Amino acid sequence: MSKRISIAIDGPAAAGKSTVAKRVAENLEYVYIDTGAMYRALTLKAILRGADMDDPALIMDILDDTAIELLPGSEGQLVLLDGQEVTAEIRTAEVTNKVSYVAIHEEVRKEMVKRQQELAAKGGVVMDGRDIGTHVLPDAEVKVFLLASVDERAQRRHAENLQKGFPSDLEQLKQEIAQRDKIDSERKVSPLKKADDAVEIDTTSLSIQQVVDTIMKLATERIGLN
Ligand code: CDP
Ligand code: CDP
């Protein structure tokens, strides 16, 4: 049997990471791990507790007492927070606008990286996030960094919101995405950054399938080598 490799997919908000990661995982019959969902679940719990996001000790206390599970579901990945399904709740605007302030804390990242490495220990994973190729899976056989212009990414989220029947303001989305990219890229601990050995793909004018095909080609080349 061929070796089950690890595939790291990083990039800024709404670059298409989770959409393509899910499809690549399905094609290879690998496990898909959405690390952003883990930071979002912790943020949701901190909001419900009325916690100050800028207090690392408090956020760490909450994390130490928190179980986050990612389970495959028939319509995508299910996210469980302390045993309760929160798949939709972690995508609200409030969580989205606060998550980067939770993800900035060094201790929080250390614990999250540990949990993510445990989930990926057996290989056969496609993991997406911001620091997968640089910190979580530095030895991943395939590393990809997805990019797209802010306008294109805001447009994609806008279309997605409208399709789901959610209220959506394109200009506001643009500002929120740019602000989150700035916090994620400028933080001291494991900022959003392309790993030196990652393949950069500018997806601005690519379809989802074209991005999936490019990653599948990289993956099958590596699997063939093992
Ligand atoms: O899907 P989207 O790109 O909007 O975001 P996400 O992947 O769900 O990640 C939400 C936030 O979690 C990011 O903006 C980062 O602040 C943080 N995050 C992180 O710091 N490191 C990761 N590996 C994944 C997410
Ligand atoms: O996970 P991330 O935040 O990077 O992005 P996503 O949630 O996978 O993708 C954001 C939206 O862009 C989704 O509605 C995708 O269907 C769409 N998309 C696209 O239109 N073209 C691509 N090449 C990739 C994603």
- Domains for the chain: give ranges and CATH numbers: 6-212 (3.40.50.300)
151: which 2 tokens? 């306008």
Beta strands in the chain, from DSSP E residues, in sequence order: 6-10, 31-34, 68-73, 76-81, 84-85, 125-129, 142-147, 199-202
* 100 CA to centre of ligand 1 in angstroms: 7
* 5 CA to centre of ligand 2 in angstroms: 24
Q: What is this structure's pTM? A: 0.97
Please work out whether the CB of residue 180 comes within 6 Å of at least one atom of ligand 1.
yes
Q: How far apart are CA 119 and CA 92, in angstroms?
A: 26
Please name which of 66, 8, 4 lies closest in space to residue 35, comparing C-alpha atoms. 8
- Our mutation pick for probing the ligand 1 site, out of 19, 35, 53, counting the most ligand atoms within 8 A of Cβ, is 35
Q: Is 15 annotated as a binding residue?
A: yes
Check: complex ipTM more than 0.85:
yes
What is the pLDDT averaged over residues 23-27? 96
Phi, psi torsion values for 150, nearest 5 degrees: -60, -40
87: which 2 tokens? 């798949």
Please work out whether the CB of residue 99 comes within 6 Å of at least one atom of ligand 1.
yes
pLDDT above 90: residue 3? no
- Asked whether the beta carbons of 181 and 150 are under 8 A apart, the reply is yes
Q: Is 17 annotated as a binding residue?
A: yes
Q: Residue with the nearest Cα to atom 19 of ligand 1?
A: 130
Burial (CB count <10 Å: 0-12, 13-18, 19+), residue 173: buried
Q: How far is CA 145 from CA 15, 49, 95, 159, in A?
A: 9, 35, 24, 23
Please work out whether the CB of residue 24 comes within 6 Å of at least one atom of ligand 2.
no
- Predicted pLDDT at 73: 84
pLDDT above 80: residue 204? yes
Q: How confident is the model at residue 76 (pLDDT cuts 50, 70, 90)?
A: confident
Nearest ligand, measured from the Cα of 14:
2
Residue with tokens 């994609």: 156
Q: How far apart are CA 186 and CA 104, in angstroms?
A: 10
Q: How confident is the model at residue 1 (pLDDT cuts 50, 70, 90)?
A: low
- Asked whether the beta carbons of 104 and 53 are under 8 A apart, the reply is no
Nearest ligand, measured from the Cα of 113:
1
Nearest ligand, measured from the Cα of 35:
1
Q: Residue with the nearest Cα to atom 19 of ligand 2?
A: 208
Q: Residue with the nearest Cα to atom 11 of ligand 2?
A: 156
- Predicted pLDDT at 74: 80
- Asked whether the beta carbons of 55 and 104 are under 8 A apart, the reply is no
- Asked whether the beta carbons of 38 and 80 are under 8 A apart, the reply is no
What is the pLDDT averaged over residues 175-180? 96
What is the pLDDT averaged over residues 32-55? 98
What is the pLDDT averaged over residues 138-152? 97
Q: Is 37 annotated as a binding residue?
A: no
**Least trusted range by pLDDT, from 1-10, 44-53, 89-98:** 1-10
215: which 2 tokens? 């990653």
Q: Is 76 annotated as a binding residue?
A: no
